[in-house]
Structure 1
Amino acid sequence: MAARQRGLALALLVTVQFVLVLDASIVNVALPSIGRDLHFDQADLSWVGNAYTLTFGGFLLFGGRVADLAGRRRMFVAGLALFTAASLAGGLSPDAGALVGARAVQGLGAALVAPAALSLIMTLFTDGPERNRALGLFGAVAGAGGAAGAILGGLLTDWFGWEAVLFVNVPIGAAAIALAPVLLPEARDGRVRGFDLLGAVAVTGGLALLVYALVDGGNAGWSSARTCLRGAGAAALLVAFVAVEARVRHPLVPLGIFRGRSLRGGNLAAVLATMAIFPMFYVMTLYLQQVKGYGPIRAGLGQLPVAVTMAFGAGAGARLITRFGARGPLAAGLAAVAAGLAWFAGMSATGHYAVDVLGPAVVMGLGGGLVFVSVTIAATAGASAEESGLASGLINTAQQVGGALGLAVVVAVASAATRHSSARVPAAALTDGFQAGMLASAGIALAAALVTLLLVPGRPADEPEGAPVTAPPPSRSEIGG
């Protein structure tokens, strides 16, 4: 494929990934309007966001493997069609149940698209500087999507109503579906014909229950019977999944893939990194609105420096990884994230934006951009062309589970600190909680840096010294027209 067409294909893939990440946060600013119009109970309103997270995280591994077997472009288009149709249905929802259902279907579509998109990048761009640059752009845009959600959500809700945060996906999705057959190659693993249905059911159910327990634990209570049963059910299903994979002829996840040191270390680092980074957006939004009194749009714009600096960090990361491998840049990025989170933990109820938010945001954004591209390259290094969808599904799953787990930890720590605060002013008590939560996140980021240094190899893949870094291009049997 010519360089120009590969560039256009990359632009399409990163645009779609931006929308998928955006949709995890774009509805948050619109929740008050949604609650009023559709008569949500306050306790159920969080499910507008949770339904998307639940199915997105639960079906990612399934989506990655199906992309390998059925075709990556085919699954990209099918998932995008599902996501786009659900976005239209969500904007037209007459009641709360219909909206939550549409959001769940959106998440399912996203779980089919995300690993297929990353796998297509791995197919289009061979190992080495070219792939690192492509993944750098992919990571930068994906990271910026999380920060941009609050900004666009506020603007669209203010100008057009809450329905616009869902309708905005429809023209983008339709255009991407039309362009995909023109710009993207078909790629599949033609060697495997069987499908591990039992394994798919076990891992999807286990991951969905795990994410469910994490996103609803704060409402149900972490020690409640509901949360404990969900956690136990998730553990049982995931153990059963491993047992099934060890026995079936064509496993959904061949356990041999975990022999790769880079894949193991990269995915563990991804869990810890997103545990540290994802809750920062949540805390920053609440701090700006509940403590500093910002409106939704101003609070969203207040997070713009994170998105901008994250793009710069990802671009620098691609060049550093080409020269030094993934381990050093990933550890350095995590150290920067830890420093930024510790700085942000020094916020005060009477502080200034430039000192308490802008400075930490720049440091966290630069470090976060470096982290996202480095951890993606580390976790997918050494994966064969036939297993690129599976490797993509694993890293996406690690990030989704890590984000849900990190938010659960930070909310629990912040809530406890707020309850036990000696401050008499509510804003000061909230700030005490946010400080404790961000210190916990900083500790997790440092733990991730240590894991990186211990478990992620210095070279981009599990290769002996002197081995070539650039992999041969995929064969014709791996890429179809």
Structure 2
Amino acid sequence: MHQSKWILLTIIIACQLIVVLDASIMVTAVPEIGRTLHMSTTSLTWVHNSYILAFGGFLLLGARAGDLWGRKRILSAGIGLFSLTSLLAGLAPTAEFLLVSRACQGLAAAMATPAALALLSANFVEAKERTRAIAMYSAVSAAGGSIGLILGGFFTDFITWRAGMFINVPIGMVLLYLVQRHIERTDTRTGRFDLMGAITSVTGMTSLVYGLVQAADSGWANPASWIPLASGLLLLGLFVLIEARAAEPIVPLRLFKSRQRSGAYLGRFLIVCGNFSLFFFVPQYLQNVLGYSSFEAGLAFLPFTGAQFGMMYLIQGLVHRFGMIKVMTAGLLLASLGTLWLSKIILAQEAFFPHMFILLSIMGVGSGMVFQPLTALGLADVEARDAGAASGLINVAHQSGSSFGLAALVTVFDAGVGSDQPSTLQLAHALSNSVLGSVAFILAALTVTLLCSLPSRQPARKQALTDS
């Protein structure tokens, strides 16, 4: 690979790392943030969700902006805004200020991320280079969550949780310099923004997640739960109708004509629903049941992260030998079996080593076998005019999956706790049930993968008609 392409890939991966890392860097810091800013347990979920919902909700609009105004320009604007809002989040004097800053961070990430992935898609066209670039990008996307847990725990225990936000500022400044120096200006074109599509997608997903969080807090029968849930479903239905009729939609529905590509988006959503929730519940077990510190709970994910990164060097050979579908199927089976066993370990309140250490390594291997093929399938055979939208959809599936999965499984956890001051046994039981919920999401992703790999019967039907 030419040196200029290595520099470009480094910029893209670094950009992806900081935005994915920021989705989880606050998780191990949540107890300390609650004490510092006097936030309740329910409001603390929005430290994560305010970032993720803005990120996932505006990704498609960010992808469209890159297509129209040039990807270099939007990438630079996104990185600059991300650095500024990270500084504001770190300085936050109140809970409200922090949540607004986190939402603005999500908006900035939504500008930068699809522009970066579209640049990867446009510049790495040779098969071997493209496979390697996607493997590295996917490894960072998948492992960024666990890296965030480690860094967040370290900063919380030894410095301050605010350092997790401040660190983005110098990194952002360096990235801005590298973008201006090493990325060529991309073409712009005329067109319109699908603002109604963007608004309905953001408000619909936010309403769904809000309803799930309220259900955990107030119960399913409470109007504060089911009204937002119903509104969210209606808004997302309206979003599909708008996209079908819009002259220049942020989600061209033609992207879903390919069954494998559609399966890649849905499969990614489901696997992240299960995977990211583990980043929230396993640290709760380690900290509240086993008595680990924030940093120790973050370090516990090193076997997961290490195994996931290790697969980056093996995935090309595996895909070349066995094909994407077989590799993904094996990875999802490993991930689901490891997660199922993990739920039993938590219920029995066993120590971290050796069982959890081994299981997290197995789950990391399984996860590392899934994300690279999903990214490749999500970009496969996409026309140049839809490259930004396709890359946006990949990241929408990733970010909305983390938000929706956590919100759904928090309701499972809350139902299992049963009281405001649960015993250690009650807490372990609730956490075990939540991890079982992660298994359900991963098995759903496996089902989608298998269904989308079935050969199409349409050609055979056409041939039969021709013969008759």
TM-score above 0.5, yes or no: yes
> Quick one: structure 1 residues 238 and 41, their matched pair in 2 at CA, closer, same or farther if it must change by over 3 Å?
closer
1:213 aligned counterpart, secondary structure: helix
Q: Which residue pairs with 2:428 in the alignment?
A: 431
Aligned: 1:104 with 2:103 = yes
> Quick one: structure 1 residues 207 and 298, their matched pair in 2 at CA, closer, same or farther if it must change by over 3 Å?
same
| Percentage of pairs with the same residue | 38
Q: Which residue pairs with 1:195 in the alignment?
A: 193
> Quick one: structure 1 residues 157 and 417, their matched pair in 2 at CA, closer, same or farther if it must change by over 3 Å?
closer
Q: Which residue pairs with 1:31 in the alignment?
A: 30
CA positional deviation for 1:374: 1.6
Q: Which residue pairs with 1:343 in the alignment?
A: 341
Would you say the 8 A contact 1:57–1:208 is kept in 2? no
Deviations, residues 183-238 of structure 1 (Å, cap 9, x unaligned): 22344574x52332332322233233334334554234344322322222222222
Write the distance in 1 (CA, Å) between the matches of 2:356 and 2:78. Answer: 37
In structure 2, which of residues 309, 312, 317 is the aligned counterpart of residue 311 of structure 1?
Answer: 309
Deviations, residues 86-125 of structure 1 (Å, cap 9, x unaligned): 0111122222221211111001111111212211111111
Would you say the 8 A contact 2:215–2:411 is kept in 1? no
In structure 1, which of residues 420, 427, 446 is the aligned counterpart of residue 443 of structure 2?
Answer: 446
> Quick one: structure 1 residues 39 and 272, their matched pair in 2 at CA, closer, same or farther if it must change by over 3 Å?
closer
Write the distance in 1 (CA, Å) between the matches of 2:93 and 2:110. Answer: 26
CA positional deviation for 1:336: 0.9
CA positional deviation for 1:391: 0.6
> Quick one: structure 1 residues 147 and 343, their matched pair in 2 at CA, closer, same or farther if it must change by over 3 Å?
same
Q: Which residue pairs with 1:85 in the alignment?
A: 84
2:245 aligned counterpart, secondary structure: coil
> Quick one: structure 1 residues 147 and 388, their matched pair in 2 at CA, closer, same or farther if it must change by over 3 Å?
same
1:346 aligned counterpart, secondary structure: helix
Write the distance in 1 (CA, Å) between the matches of 2:78 and 2:33. Answer: 26
Write the distance in 1 (CA, Å) between the matches of 2:64 and 2:38. Answer: 39
TM-score by length of 1: 0.88
Q: Which residue pairs with 2:280 in the alignment?
A: 282
Would you say the 8 A contact 1:129–1:319 is kept in 2? no
Q: Which residue pairs with 1:17 in the alignment?
A: 16
Write the distance in 1 (CA, Å) between the matches of 2:397 and 2:455. Answer: 21
Q: Which residue pairs with 1:328 in the alignment?
A: 326
Matching of residues 372-391 of structure 1 within 5 Å:
372-391=371-390
Write the distance in 1 (CA, Å) between the matches of 2:250 and 2:4. Answer: 32
Matching of residues 186-335 of structure 1 within 5 Å:
186-188=185-187, 190=189, 193-335=191-333
Would you say the 8 A contact 2:57–2:198 is kept in 1? no
CA positional deviation for 1:151: 1.3
Comparing 441-450 with 355-364, which one deviates more in the overlay?
441-450
Q: Which residue pairs with 1:118 in the alignment?
A: 117
Write the distance in 2 (CA, Å) between the matches of 1:31 and 1:431. Answer: 19
> Quick one: structure 1 residues 14 and 214, their matched pair in 2 at CA, closer, same or farther if it must change by over 3 Å?
farther
Gaps of 5+ in 1: 464-481
TM-score by length of 2: 0.90
> Quick one: structure 1 residues 262 and 338, their matched pair in 2 at CA, closer, same or farther if it must change by over 3 Å?
same
Q: Which residue pairs with 2:391 in the alignment?
A: 392
Letter in 2 for 1:100: L
Letter in 1 for 2:88: A
Structure with the higher helix share, 1 or 2: 2
Write the distance in 1 (CA, Å) between the matches of 2:316 and 2:221. Answer: 43
> Quick one: structure 1 residues 321 and 68, their matched pair in 2 at CA, closer, same or farther if it must change by over 3 Å?
farther
Deviations, residues 18-41 of structure 1 (Å, cap 9, x unaligned): 111111111223333333333434
Would you say the 8 A contact 1:154–1:296 is kept in 2? yes
Write the distance in 2 (CA, Å) between the matches of 1:269 and 1:301. Answer: 28
CA positional deviation for 1:127: 5.6
CA positional deviation for 1:3: 1.4
CA positional deviation for 1:163: 1.9
2:369 aligned counterpart, secondary structure: helix
> Quick one: structure 1 residues 323 and 8, their matched pair in 2 at CA, closer, same or farther if it must change by over 3 Å?
farther
1:161 aligned counterpart, secondary structure: coil
CA positional deviation for 1:82: 1.1
Write the distance in 2 (CA, Å) between the matches of 1:378 and 1:457. Answer: 15
Q: Which residue pairs with 1:161 in the alignment?
A: 160
Would you say the 8 A contact 1:291–1:427 is kept in 2? yes
> Quick one: structure 1 residues 181 and 426, their matched pair in 2 at CA, closer, same or farther if it must change by over 3 Å?
same
CA RMSD of aligned residues (A): 2.4
Would you say the 8 A contact 2:53–2:202 is kept in 1? no
> Quick one: structure 1 residues 95 and 447, their matched pair in 2 at CA, closer, same or farther if it must change by over 3 Å?
closer
Deviations, residues 225-259 of structure 1 (Å, cap 9, x unaligned): 22322222222222222222222322222222211
